[in-house]
Amino acid sequence: MLSGKKDHLMKVGVLASGRGSNLQALIDAVKTGRLPVKIIGVGSDTADAAALARAANESIPARAFPPALFSSRLDQERSILFWFEELEAELLVLAGYMRLLSEHFIRGAGCPIINIHPALLPSFPGLHAQRQALNAGVRYSGCTVHFVDAGLDTGPIILQQTVPVYEEDTEESLSERILREEHLLLPEAVRLIAAGKVRHNGRKVLIERDA
Ligand code: GAR
Protein backbone atom coordinates (compact mmCIF):
# COMPACT_ATOMS: atom_id res chain seq x y z
CA MET A 1 0.00 0.00 0.00
CA LEU A 2 1.16 3.52 -0.62
CA SER A 3 -0.58 5.23 2.23
CA GLY A 4 -3.90 5.00 3.97
CA LYS A 5 -3.24 6.12 7.53
CA LYS A 6 -6.57 6.80 9.20
CA ASP A 7 -7.36 10.44 10.07
CA HIS A 8 -4.27 11.65 8.26
CA LEU A 9 -4.65 13.92 5.25
CA MET A 10 -2.03 12.91 2.71
CA LYS A 11 0.23 15.86 1.87
CA VAL A 12 0.24 16.34 -1.88
CA GLY A 13 2.69 18.51 -3.83
CA VAL A 14 1.90 19.55 -7.39
CA LEU A 15 4.14 20.54 -10.29
CA ALA A 16 2.57 22.38 -13.22
CA SER A 17 4.01 24.34 -16.13
CA GLY A 18 1.07 26.30 -17.48
CA ARG A 19 -2.67 26.91 -17.34
CA GLY A 20 -3.25 24.72 -14.30
CA SER A 21 -6.77 23.47 -15.02
CA ASN A 22 -5.85 20.04 -13.65
CA LEU A 23 -4.47 21.69 -10.53
CA GLN A 24 -7.78 23.57 -10.25
CA ALA A 25 -9.68 20.27 -10.55
CA LEU A 26 -7.64 18.95 -7.60
CA ILE A 27 -8.21 22.12 -5.57
CA ASP A 28 -11.96 22.01 -6.29
CA ALA A 29 -12.17 18.34 -5.37
CA VAL A 30 -10.43 19.09 -2.05
CA LYS A 31 -12.70 22.07 -1.36
CA THR A 32 -15.89 20.10 -2.00
CA GLY A 33 -14.73 17.25 0.21
CA ARG A 34 -14.47 14.70 -2.63
CA LEU A 35 -10.71 14.50 -2.21
CA PRO A 36 -9.54 14.21 1.40
CA VAL A 37 -5.92 15.33 0.97
CA LYS A 38 -3.97 18.54 1.65
CA ILE A 39 -2.28 20.30 -1.26
CA ILE A 40 0.85 21.58 0.44
CA GLY A 41 2.59 23.36 -2.42
CA VAL A 42 2.59 24.05 -6.14
CA GLY A 43 5.87 24.35 -8.01
CA SER A 44 6.47 25.36 -11.60
CA ASP A 45 9.32 25.66 -14.06
CA THR A 46 7.60 28.76 -15.48
CA ALA A 47 7.56 31.97 -13.43
CA ASP A 48 4.31 33.29 -14.93
CA ALA A 49 2.42 29.98 -15.02
CA ALA A 50 -1.29 30.50 -14.35
CA ALA A 51 -1.06 27.43 -12.11
CA LEU A 52 1.02 29.44 -9.62
CA ALA A 53 -1.62 32.19 -9.51
CA ARG A 54 -4.36 29.58 -8.98
CA ALA A 55 -2.39 28.20 -6.02
CA ALA A 56 -1.76 31.65 -4.56
CA ASN A 57 -5.50 32.43 -4.85
CA GLU A 58 -6.14 29.51 -2.54
CA SER A 59 -3.31 30.45 -0.17
CA ILE A 60 -1.37 27.37 -1.22
CA PRO A 61 2.42 27.98 -1.17
CA ALA A 62 3.52 28.51 -4.78
CA ARG A 63 7.06 28.73 -6.07
CA ALA A 64 8.72 29.04 -9.48
CA PHE A 65 11.90 27.14 -10.32
CA PRO A 66 12.85 28.58 -13.75
CA PRO A 67 15.74 26.52 -15.16
CA ALA A 68 17.53 29.71 -16.27
CA LEU A 69 18.07 30.61 -12.60
CA PHE A 70 19.97 27.38 -11.90
CA SER A 71 23.41 26.26 -12.96
CA SER A 72 22.17 22.85 -14.12
CA ARG A 73 19.11 20.64 -14.38
CA LEU A 74 20.39 18.72 -11.36
CA ASP A 75 20.55 21.93 -9.37
CA GLN A 76 17.01 22.92 -10.36
CA GLU A 77 15.64 19.49 -9.49
CA ARG A 78 17.49 19.47 -6.16
CA SER A 79 15.92 22.75 -5.27
CA ILE A 80 12.41 21.48 -6.11
CA LEU A 81 13.02 18.31 -4.11
CA PHE A 82 14.32 20.25 -1.15
CA TRP A 83 11.21 22.44 -1.14
CA PHE A 84 8.81 19.51 -1.26
CA GLU A 85 10.86 17.73 1.39
CA GLU A 86 10.51 20.75 3.68
CA LEU A 87 6.76 20.71 3.03
CA GLU A 88 6.78 16.97 3.86
CA ALA A 89 5.11 15.92 0.60
CA GLU A 90 3.91 12.32 0.56
CA LEU A 91 2.81 12.31 -3.08
CA LEU A 92 3.90 14.45 -6.02
CA VAL A 93 1.47 15.09 -8.86
CA LEU A 94 2.59 16.30 -12.26
CA ALA A 95 -0.41 18.25 -13.54
CA GLY A 96 0.75 19.51 -16.90
CA TYR A 97 4.43 19.64 -15.93
CA MET A 98 6.15 19.70 -19.30
CA ARG A 99 9.63 18.57 -18.28
CA LEU A 100 11.12 15.12 -18.03
CA LEU A 101 12.31 14.37 -14.50
CA SER A 102 15.69 12.74 -14.03
CA GLU A 103 16.26 9.44 -12.30
CA HIS A 104 17.97 11.43 -9.56
CA PHE A 105 14.73 13.35 -8.92
CA ILE A 106 12.55 10.26 -8.97
CA ARG A 107 14.76 8.31 -6.57
CA GLY A 108 15.37 11.38 -4.40
CA ALA A 109 11.68 12.19 -4.00
CA GLY A 110 11.14 9.41 -1.48
CA CYS A 111 7.43 9.37 -2.34
CA PRO A 112 5.39 8.29 -5.35
CA ILE A 113 5.13 10.64 -8.32
CA ILE A 114 2.19 10.48 -10.71
CA ASN A 115 1.46 12.20 -14.02
CA ILE A 116 -1.60 12.91 -16.14
CA HIS A 117 -1.19 12.48 -19.89
CA PRO A 118 -3.76 13.36 -22.57
CA ALA A 119 -3.71 10.03 -24.46
CA LEU A 120 -4.20 6.35 -23.87
CA LEU A 121 -0.62 5.36 -23.08
CA PRO A 122 1.47 3.63 -24.30
CA SER A 123 0.10 5.30 -27.44
CA PHE A 124 1.14 8.88 -28.13
CA PRO A 125 3.64 9.73 -25.36
CA GLY A 126 5.38 13.09 -25.24
CA LEU A 127 4.27 16.39 -26.70
CA HIS A 128 1.10 17.05 -28.73
CA ALA A 129 -0.53 13.76 -27.77
CA GLN A 130 -3.92 14.89 -29.11
CA ARG A 131 -2.38 15.87 -32.47
CA GLN A 132 -0.60 12.51 -32.60
CA ALA A 133 -3.93 10.74 -32.01
CA LEU A 134 -5.66 12.71 -34.79
CA ASN A 135 -2.81 12.07 -37.21
CA ALA A 136 -2.93 8.34 -36.43
CA GLY A 137 -6.66 8.23 -37.23
CA VAL A 138 -7.66 6.47 -34.02
CA ARG A 139 -11.39 6.25 -33.19
CA TYR A 140 -10.76 6.48 -29.45
CA SER A 141 -8.27 8.38 -27.37
CA GLY A 142 -8.42 9.55 -23.77
CA CYS A 143 -6.23 10.19 -20.79
CA THR A 144 -3.96 8.23 -18.50
CA VAL A 145 -2.74 8.69 -14.94
CA HIS A 146 0.48 6.78 -14.38
CA PHE A 147 3.36 6.50 -11.96
CA VAL A 148 6.40 8.38 -13.17
CA ASP A 149 9.62 6.62 -14.05
CA ALA A 150 12.62 8.07 -15.86
CA GLY A 151 11.15 7.33 -19.31
CA LEU A 152 8.88 9.56 -21.35
CA ASP A 153 5.36 8.69 -20.11
CA THR A 154 6.38 5.06 -19.64
CA GLY A 155 5.56 4.39 -15.97
CA PRO A 156 2.98 1.89 -14.66
CA ILE A 157 -0.59 2.86 -15.55
CA ILE A 158 -2.99 3.62 -12.69
CA LEU A 159 -6.22 4.79 -14.41
CA GLN A 160 -7.36 5.49 -17.94
CA GLN A 161 -10.47 7.00 -19.47
CA THR A 162 -11.42 6.77 -23.13
CA VAL A 163 -13.14 9.41 -25.25
CA PRO A 164 -14.38 9.03 -28.84
CA VAL A 165 -12.53 10.76 -31.67
CA TYR A 166 -14.85 12.18 -34.34
CA GLU A 167 -13.99 12.71 -38.00
CA GLU A 168 -14.65 16.43 -37.70
CA ASP A 169 -12.44 16.82 -34.60
CA THR A 170 -9.73 19.43 -34.48
CA GLU A 171 -6.82 19.30 -32.07
CA GLU A 172 -8.72 21.84 -29.98
CA SER A 173 -12.04 19.98 -29.85
CA LEU A 174 -10.35 16.67 -29.02
CA SER A 175 -8.17 18.34 -26.36
CA GLU A 176 -11.27 19.84 -24.73
CA ARG A 177 -13.09 16.49 -24.67
CA ILE A 178 -10.05 14.79 -23.14
CA LEU A 179 -9.47 17.60 -20.65
CA ARG A 180 -12.98 17.23 -19.22
CA GLU A 181 -12.11 13.61 -18.42
CA GLU A 182 -8.67 14.54 -17.05
CA HIS A 183 -10.39 16.74 -14.49
CA LEU A 184 -12.25 13.69 -13.16
CA LEU A 185 -9.52 11.09 -13.57
CA LEU A 186 -6.67 12.89 -11.78
CA PRO A 187 -8.57 13.63 -8.53
CA GLU A 188 -9.86 10.06 -8.56
CA ALA A 189 -6.34 8.63 -8.89
CA VAL A 190 -5.10 10.84 -6.03
CA ARG A 191 -8.10 9.83 -3.92
CA LEU A 192 -7.38 6.12 -4.47
CA ILE A 193 -3.69 6.53 -3.61
CA ALA A 194 -4.46 8.59 -0.50
CA ALA A 195 -6.97 5.95 0.61
CA GLY A 196 -4.24 3.29 0.37
CA LYS A 197 -6.08 1.47 -2.39
CA VAL A 198 -3.30 1.42 -4.95
CA ARG A 199 -0.61 -1.24 -5.01
CA HIS A 200 2.30 -1.88 -7.34
CA ASN A 201 3.15 -5.27 -8.71
CA GLY A 202 5.97 -4.62 -11.14
CA ARG A 203 4.40 -2.82 -14.10
CA LYS A 204 0.95 -3.81 -12.98
CA VAL A 205 -0.97 -1.53 -10.68
CA LEU A 206 -3.63 -3.17 -8.56
CA ILE A 207 -6.54 -1.09 -7.35
CA GLU A 208 -8.73 -2.12 -4.48
CA ARG A 209 -12.24 -1.06 -5.45
CA ASP A 210 -14.38 0.88 -2.99
CA ALA A 211 -16.60 -1.34 -0.86
C1 GAR B 1 -3.14 18.57 -19.85
O2 GAR B 1 -3.86 18.20 -20.99
C3 GAR B 1 -2.17 17.47 -19.46
O4 GAR B 1 -2.67 16.18 -19.67
C5 GAR B 1 -1.03 17.75 -20.39
O6 GAR B 1 -0.89 19.13 -20.38
C7 GAR B 1 -2.18 19.72 -20.15
C8 GAR B 1 -2.07 20.66 -18.99
O9 GAR B 1 -3.25 21.39 -18.83
N10 GAR B 1 0.17 17.08 -19.97
C11 GAR B 1 1.04 16.57 -20.82
O12 GAR B 1 0.92 16.62 -22.03
C13 GAR B 1 2.22 15.89 -20.16
N14 GAR B 1 2.88 15.03 -21.09
P15 GAR B 1 -3.53 22.19 -17.51
O16 GAR B 1 -2.29 23.07 -17.26
O17 GAR B 1 -4.74 23.02 -17.82
O18 GAR B 1 -3.75 21.22 -16.40
Closest Cα to atom 3, ligand 1: which residue? 96
Residue 95 lies in a domain: yes
What's the first-to-final CA gap in the chain, in angstroms? 17
Contacts of 150 by beta carbon, 8 Å cutoff, 6+ apart: 100, 101, 102, 103, 106
Contacts of 211 by beta carbon, 8 Å cutoff, 6+ apart: none
Residue 106 lies in a domain: yes
Residue 3 lies in a domain: no
Checking if the pLDDT of 189 tops 70, the result is yes
Amino acid at 210: D
Distance of CA 32 from the midpoint of ligand 1 (Å): 23
Number of domains composing the chain: 1
Residue 38 lies in a domain: yes
In eight-state DSSP terms, residue 68 is G
Answer yes or no: is the C-beta of 155 below 6 A from any ligand 1 atom.
no
Distance of CA 66 from the midpoint of ligand 1 (Å): 18
How confident is the model at residue 5, as a pLDDT?
57
Structural domain harbouring 100:
10-199
Closest Cα to atom 12, ligand 1: which residue? 117
Residue 205 lies in a domain: no
Residue 1 lies in a domain: no
Q: What is the pLDDT of residues 95-135, one digit of tens each?
A: 999 999 999 999 999 999 999 999 999 999 999 999 999 99
How confident is the model at residue 121, as a pLDDT?
98
Does residue 8 carry a catalytic annotation? no
Q: What is the pLDDT of residues 33-76, one digit of tens each?
A: 999 999 999 999 999 999 999 999 999 999 999 999 999 999 99
CATH number of the domain where residue 14 is located: 3.40.50.170
pTM: 0.96
Residue 209 lies in a domain: no
